[in-house]
Each structure stands twice: as structure tokens, then as C-alpha cells.
Amino acid sequence: MLIYKILRAEEWAAFEAAGRTEGAPIDLADGYIHFSTAGQVAETAAKHFAREEGLMIVAVETDALGDALEWEPSRGGALFPHLYRSLDATDVVWAKPYPLGPEGHVLPAEVK
């Protein structure tokens, strides 16, 4: 199963340069990297990245993350994937721009 991480342009650039990331400031504060499922990612973008341009969406296979991935309740009790280690470039299945359209962010067709 693929899960998704939204990164701002500067976070994506730092991730590409270093080959790994501890996440965004919210991830550092919470002690884990926040991910969303395909069904959750649009709401995540609307809630936390409204009107932000230059976003990237990164797809990661859950099986590759092993025991460091935990499913924990968040918005409305829904289970969200949280990664309790750094995200390595080798974990990424694909990364695509997540552009802002006139009515919100436009998910790439690959998000399923």
C-alpha cells in the first residue's frame, strides 16, 4: 500500500540534497513523520497547506517501512500512518508536483 507525504519546496530541496529527512517542523515537534493515505491526502492538503504553491507529494510503500510505521488515531479518530524514523530517499516510490489549482490542490493521477 502506498502512503503519501506532502513537502513544501524548501523541504523537498533539502530532502533531495541530503537523501533523507526528519520531516517538516510539525514532524520534528511531534516526534514522527506524518503521512496520509490516498483517501486522506486531499483533506490534509486543504487543512495544512491551503493556498500554498510549490508542493511535492511523495509516495512510499508501507511494507518498506517495517515496524517504524505505526497507524495512530488523528482527525475524527481516523487512523493515520506515522513514521518513527527518518525518511530515506530509497523509501520513495515516486515524487510528483502537487500543484495548486483554482479550487485547491490537484492530486496526481497516480494517487490511488
pLDDT of 54 > 90? The answer is: yes
55-61, strands of its sheet edge to edge: 2-7, 55-61, 92-98
Please give the pLDDT value at position 74.
86
Please give the pLDDT value at position 63.
96
Burial level of 10, CB count in 10 A (0-12/13-18/19+)? exposed
pTM for this prediction: 0.95
Look at 74 and 17; give whichever has higher pLDDT. 17
pLDDT of 112 > 90? The answer is: no
As a CATH number, domain 2-100 is 3.20.170.20
pLDDT digits (tens, 9 = 90+) for 68-77: 999 999 878 8
Please give the pLDDT value at position 56.
98
Which set of grid coordinates corresponds to residue 20?
533523507
E strands in 44-99: 55-61, 69-73, 79-83, 87-88, 92-98
